[in-house]
Structure 1
Amino acid sequence: MSHPPTGSRRAATGGGMPGRGLTGRADPDVLRAENAAAPHVPDLWKRVGAMFIPYRKHIALTVVLVLATSAASVVPPLLVQRIFDGALFPTDGAGGTAPPHLSLLTGLVSLMIGIFVASAGLSVWQTWVTSNVGNRVTGDLRVTLFDKLQRMELAFFTRTKTGVIQSRLQNDVGGVAGVLTTFVSSIVGNTATVIASLVAMIVLDWRLTLLAVVLMPALVVAQRRVGLVRQRIAAKTQESLSEMTSITQETLSVSGILLSKVYNRRGFESERYAGENRTLIRLQIQLAMSGQWFFGMVTVIMSSVPAIIYLASGLLLARGGEAGGGVITAGTIVAFTTIQARLLFPLMSLMRVALEVQTSRALFARIFEYLDLTPAISDAPDARDASDAPGPVGAIEFRDVTFRYPDASEDARATLDGISFAAKPGETHAFVGPSGAGKTTIVYLAARLHEASGGSVVFAGTDVRELTQDSVVEQVGVVTQETYLFHATIAENLRYARPDATDEDLVAACRAANIHDTIESFEHGYDTAVGERGYRLSGGEKQRIAIARVLLKDPPILLLDEATSALDTLSERVVQEALDNASRGRTTLVVAHRLSTVVDADVIHVVAAGRIVESGTHAELMALAGRYAELAAGQAR
């Protein structure tokens, strides 16, 4: 975890918002530029719709339920007209008012109550179906994104903050979950309700309907403008959430909290988090308030329509009740205003959903931006299993290999340039040299964690690009300087290499790694929890557990990346003995800092500035009196 000396880290990490200072204020012109620079995803909504295809039967059922519920919601107001004009205040043959028609009234009321009960049942069923569809689609999206990230090359993770990746999985997918969950029911249901209500209003009186909907086009235009504003604010909100997730992940990890404590930077980290929190709060308030005046205006207009209807009805009745249309009765006015009042809620909901869809566009674009990433390393269509390679198992050869990181500039020096060597099965090849020379990159190329930019890495007589990645990795075991252990028991960490390993297998591997007796001395033995990243164990203990984990895998090739450089002398001796046991009979590539650990290697390669400048045994290189001899003399001093 690295911090720039002052100010925000956004400029340093590339994950932030340009044009925003320590106060969190953003210039409007900068916001417009950022929105224009947001990821463009072709056919975005078409791709979102495609996610629902596996659930088309459920969606069809949802549509049927929604239409039935919407249609049922319009029937009671029409019954109200019948109740008023035909049951409560029926007319006699002479045009006067007759006594109430009780049998008809009872039947209409019973029918209305029955419709209410049926609508409630259909609504519950519809909610269950739509919730299933929405949450399953969201879950599919989350798993697809996680799987895509799993297939990305190692270099992607070295240049992308972990917190940013976590934010895409959690915040962005979570942000669209509500839209997906209610998308079908809200869009279809409210659209059907609005259409059914309009039809019913026209049936009752077309003149009053025209008066009630005259302002709707203006509301749609205003809603569109509000949606664009919310879309911009939503994009900024997700970026702020991403930054907060990144700060939390970095600072509250074991390594991060240790660093902030030993450098007494707790106050700085708290202020940094508080500053981003203030930015997030401001954006969330803006998002919550954006459009509220619009919806307030819609509510006032729609709520005032009944009063206008009463006035218009009065004017029509004063002119004889017809005036180019049908006769307006009390039942007509009551039914019309009831339907119009019911129109308010689905219309408002439809506008809110439209705003949410516009707002979620930025979130979908961020998610699909990751889904559209192309892994730098992928299997060829005709790739075959490494076990079918014609050469001897464990043979590794580099043929004039060059390597550049994907984000490196064209004029930058290649990380590796013209690397060539051949390791026969069972041989140990060591790579020594100054930091940054490219030693670790060589090891990772051998495991195909990186892809060569030029030349070829040959695995068992076959270019690794002609083999499947999984089969290559199955042949390789890696022990790095920084051992990673999960927050689980020792046994669970060991079985990560081989889930079907028996207890006897664990003991045998740990004996070979010189760690069994230490584990047995713990109160819970192999069931001891190691803590976050294994921090409850010493460095030597973690390294030996990592070696035991590799031994459980039992690969023909072993890659050791400065596996003892961070240990004290006593721990190094114990771990080195375990490494010697692990290397026996395996092709081993070793990146070494201390030359004393590789003096017995079959071949030692001296790497400088991305090239192998010397190769030979320890004795040969010392006799050469070149770079290796200088390194040895320097370490001796």
Structure 2
Amino acid sequence: MRPESPGWKPSPKDPLAPEQPVSIRRILRLFRPYRGRLATVGLLVAASSLVSVASPFLLREILDVAIPRQRTGLLGLLALGMIATAVMTSVFGVLQTLISTTVGQRVMHDLRTGVYGKLQRMPLAFFTRTRTGEVQSRIANDIGGMQATVTSTATSLVSNLTSVIATIVAMLALDWRLTIASLLLLPFFVWVSRRVGRERKRITTERQKQMASMSATVTESLSVSGILLGRTMGRADSLTRSFADESDRLADLEIRSSMAGRWRMSTIGIVMAAIPALLYWTAGMLVHFGGPAFSIGTLVAFVTLQQGLLRPTVSLLSTGVEMQTSLALFQRIFEYLDLPVDITEPEHPVTLPKAKGEVRFEKVDFSYDGDDPRATLRDIDLTVPAGTSLAVVGATGSGKSTLSYLVPRLYDVTGGRVTLDGVDVRDLDFASLARAVGVVSQETYLFHATVADNLRFAKPDATDEELREAARAAQIHDQIAALPDGYDTLVGERGYRFSGGEKQRLALARTILRDPPVLILDEATSALDTRTERAVQQAVDALSAGRTTLTIAHRLSTIRDADQIVVLDKGRVVERGTHDELLAADGRYAALVRRDAQTTEAPAVPVRALGSTSSPL
């Protein structure tokens, strides 16, 4: 089943299916562009580890040589050496943190832009089945949750591992028997940390899903449309309770994530802190049973090394737990990065510097499920000469909008082809297609920005005069000029500061700025009242002049002058001709015109009838 099908669900092999294993090698590839900086970090880590293990040896010389033999000069040099060791370790640590954090933030940037860029190339159907809050959560929460991993965890892993290895080597150099006694419990510690990591990974997956769900709830219910719906339906309290329930579940998961394995990891810390007592006991037993005696300096230096081993070992085990936890986040990000992109630019695209605007549908079939015999469109043959107009009418669900979406490649045909100036639109580069085809839909979208910024979205380098000319052509300039801030007025979220007709004319002005030779009007006036529709229709007529226009008609009065009209029924063209020709044929189009006229002339339902006790509502 094709991913864009409304009934599409993840299959076990699908990239959106849960529990896909994450390759460590793939995670490491994220850092490949920064391997030079990482090599520098590695050198700093190695230098820092080697310098830090020198202090116990200096301490041994102080206790066994400098103080007993009263060699003050040597004592001063050894003391300065310990101070220099501390200074060098701190300097190396700061440089290491700076470079590793920079690399981590660049990887975070690469992930964010990679996911955003991938989503920009996803088919329209992906967004019709995915909650906006879910998409936002993947970019903000999941990538944000990986910050510690990509900025510090990797460096911490290398640093602590190097410190552990260097410390163990130094401990062996002092005494191999005490070293073995110190490391007897290490396999147990590793086993505990792995179990804790698996537990946290499972909880983290649940937590991120819950965060995505809560983010979607906030996005939907706290938008302007959501607030209007909630208030008018009297659901504000129930929405608050629903959000509180989701928040409570998230809080519970956060507590479980934080406390997962906490007691077991604390036990490890307690045991490792008690190891010095074990070392003193071991040294005493070895001497008691005839072993060689330990100098005070050697024993103190060894215990110092062992205590120095405590911090990186515990940190290393904790880092392992964090890395297992972060695998759940990487899994969710890679799911999006691995989504198949069905509509892609051809390997050798054709460029149209200036399209004339002839559009053809040649034996076009389309189905949301490529294997479904009940195709949305079947055997469509249409030619729209450059500069002429085509109107498409039909009942709801007949395939009108789907037909129009094939021209700008919001969907790709499953049979036949759609051409622009004789070139299959699938062979055109995206830039040429975007320049050639403009779409004005019933659902007008405006950004929460100024009027000027919304218009310049179509043409970023447009001058102020060009903005005004486009607004005049769309018959919206006077309304904009009357605003206190004129073209610098914020339109509000989704343009809610403007009426439906004003938003539609702003959308038309935006399209006029782009000046496409092919214009698609997808029921652009169907949601407007008659008076507003008349004003918008005048702007539409001005915009359509001299362009190839494909109009998806809801009100048939707006397409009487179309050069040709086709009637769709169940995805097939059942009638075609001019308005007068189709009326004379007295077929489906004529029936639609009569129904449209009756609907327009029908008297309005009295308001009081809606509240009548006898109403069937």
Common fold: TM-score over 0.5: yes
Distance (whole Å) between structure 2 residues aligned to residue 150 and residue 381 of structure 1: 19
Distance (whole Å) between structure 2 residues aligned to residue 37 and residue 375 of structure 1: 16
Q: 1:375 aligns with which of 341, 344, 352?
A: 341
Q: 1:541 aligns with which of 482, 486, 502?
A: 502
Q: Would you say the 8 A contact 1:514–1:578 is kept in 2?
A: yes
Q: Would you say the 8 A contact 1:59–1:184 is kept in 2?
A: no
Which residue of structure 2 lines up, in the alignment, with residue 516 of structure 1?
Answer: 477
Deviation of 1:409 (Å): 8.2
Q: Tell me, yes or no, if structure 1 residue 81 matches structure 2 residue 60.
A: yes
Which residue of structure 2 lines up, in the alignment, with residue 94 of structure 1?
Answer: none
Write the mapping of 1:132-531 to structure 2, written as runs, cut at 5 A: 132-322=102-292, 327-387=293-353, 393-405=356-368, 408=369, 410-411=371-372, 413-531=374-492
Which residue of structure 1 lines up, in the alignment, with residue 568 of structure 2?
Answer: 607
Distance (whole Å) between structure 2 residues aligned to residue 562 and residue 575 of structure 1: 12
Distance (whole Å) between structure 1 residues aligned to residue 246 and residue 9 of structure 2: 13
Q: Would you say the 8 A contact 2:370–2:414 is kept in 1?
A: no
Q: Tell me, yes or no, if structure 1 residue 40 matches structure 2 residue 20.
A: yes
Which residue of structure 2 lines up, in the alignment, with residue 25 of structure 1?
Answer: none
Deviation of 1:413 (Å): 2.4
- Of stretches 174-183 and 139-148 in structure 1, the one that deviates more from structure 2 is 174-183
Deviation of 1:112 (Å): 0.4
Distance (whole Å) between structure 2 residues aligned to residue 411 and residue 508 of structure 1: 48
Alpha-carbon displacement from aligned partner over 1:117-171 (angstroms, at most 9, x marks no partner):
1111111111100000011111111111111111111111112221111111111
Alpha-carbon displacement from aligned partner over 1:214-241 (angstroms, at most 9, x marks no partner):
0111211222222111111111111111
Alpha-carbon displacement from aligned partner over 1:33-91 (angstroms, at most 9, x marks no partner):
xxx9624256x21111111111111001000001111111111122111111112234x
SS at match of 1:64: helix
Q: Would you say the 8 A contact 1:429–1:604 is kept in 2?
A: yes
Once superposed, what is the RMSD of the aligned Cα atoms?
1.9
- Of stretches 607-616 and 412-421 in structure 1, the one that deviates more from structure 2 is 412-421
Alpha-carbon displacement from aligned partner over 1:487-530 (angstroms, at most 9, x marks no partner):
11111111111111111111111111111111111111111111
Q: TM-score, normalised by structure 2?
A: 0.92
Which residue of structure 2 lines up, in the alignment, with residue 69 of structure 1?
Answer: 48
Distance (whole Å) between structure 1 residues aligned to residue 356 and residue 7 of structure 2: 42
Q: Would you say the 8 A contact 1:63–1:184 is kept in 2?
A: no
Distance (whole Å) between structure 1 residues aligned to residue 595 and residue 154 of structure 2: 71
Amino acid at match of 1:531: G
Q: 1:293 to 1:37 in 2, by over 3 A?
A: farther
Which residue of structure 2 lines up, in the alignment, with residue 552 of structure 1?
Answer: 513
Distance (whole Å) between structure 2 residues aligned to residue 77 and residue 419 of structure 1: 84
Distance (whole Å) between structure 2 residues aligned to residue 431 and residue 180 of structure 1: 53
Amino acid at match of 1:386: L
- Of stretches 125-134 and 350-359 in structure 1, the one that deviates more from structure 2 is 350-359
Deviation of 1:298 (Å): 0.7
Which residue of structure 2 lines up, in the alignment, with residue 579 of structure 1?
Answer: 540
Alpha-carbon displacement from aligned partner over 1:518-546 (angstroms, at most 9, x marks no partner):
11111111111111111001111111111
Deviation of 1:411 (Å): 4.5
- Of stretches 577-586 and 211-220 in structure 1, the one that deviates more from structure 2 is 211-220
Deviation of 1:382 (Å): 1.7
Amino acid at match of 1:528: T
Amino acid at match of 1:224: R
Q: 1:57 to 1:538 in 2, by over 3 A?
A: same
Q: 1:411 to 1:497 in 2, by over 3 A?
A: closer
Distance (whole Å) between structure 2 residues aligned to residue 203 and residue 412 of structure 1: 77
Deviation of 1:13 (Å): 11
Distance (whole Å) between structure 1 residues aligned to residue 338 and residue 321 of structure 2: 26
Distance (whole Å) between structure 1 residues aligned to residue 232 and residue 367 of structure 2: 36
SS at match of 1:387: coil
Q: Would you say the 8 A contact 2:481–2:487 is kept in 1?
A: yes
Distance (whole Å) between structure 2 residues aligned to residue 335 and residue 221 of structure 1: 29
Distance (whole Å) between structure 1 residues aligned to residue 17 and residue 431 of structure 2: 37
Distance (whole Å) between structure 2 residues aligned to residue 55 and residue 629 of structure 1: 68
Distance (whole Å) between structure 2 residues aligned to residue 14 and residue 463 of structure 1: 28
Q: 1:365 to 1:611 in 2, by over 3 A?
A: same
- Of stretches 309-318 and 496-505 in structure 1, the one that deviates more from structure 2 is 309-318
Amino acid at match of 1:399: E
Q: Would you say the 8 A contact 1:38–1:362 is kept in 2?
A: no
Q: TM-score, normalised by structure 1?
A: 0.90
Task: Give percent identity, aligned residues only.
Answer: 47
Distance (whole Å) between structure 1 residues aligned to residue 103 and residue 413 of structure 2: 44
SS at match of 2:406: helix
Q: 1:565 to 1:451 in 2, by over 3 A?
A: same
Which residue of structure 1 lines up, in the alignment, with residue 604 of structure 2?
Answer: none
Distance (whole Å) between structure 1 residues aligned to residue 286 and residue 195 of structure 2: 37
Distance (whole Å) between structure 1 residues aligned to residue 99 and residue 357 of structure 2: 54
Q: 1:14 to 1:462 in 2, by over 3 A?
A: closer
SS at match of 1:144: helix
Q: Would you say the 8 A contact 1:512–1:581 is kept in 2?
A: yes
Q: 1:56 aligns with which of 23, 32, 35?
A: 35
Distance (whole Å) between structure 2 residues aligned to residue 263 and residue 435 of structure 1: 28
Distance (whole Å) between structure 2 residues aligned to residue 37 and residue 479 of structure 1: 36
Which residue of structure 1 lines up, in the alignment, with residue 550 of structure 2?
Answer: 589
Amino acid at match of 1:396: V
Amino acid at match of 1:211: A
Task: Please list every run of 5 or more consecutive structure 2 residues that lacks an aligned counterpart in the other structure.
Answer: 1-5, 11-15, 599-617
Q: Would you say the 8 A contact 2:101–2:152 is kept in 1?
A: yes
Distance (whole Å) between structure 2 residues aligned to residue 379 and residue 552 of structure 1: 25
Q: 1:14 to 1:219 in 2, by over 3 A?
A: farther
SS at match of 2:353: helix
Q: 1:382 to 1:409 in 2, by over 3 A?
A: closer
Amino acid at match of 1:563: A
Amino acid at match of 1:398: F
Alpha-carbon displacement from aligned partner over 1:584-619 (angstroms, at most 9, x marks no partner):
000001111111111111111112222222111111
Distance (whole Å) between structure 1 residues aligned to residue 64 and residue 595 of structure 2: 107
Distance (whole Å) between structure 2 residues aligned to residue 538 and residue 123 of structure 1: 59
SS at match of 1:386: coil
Distance (whole Å) between structure 1 residues aligned to residue 370 and residue 563 of structure 2: 37
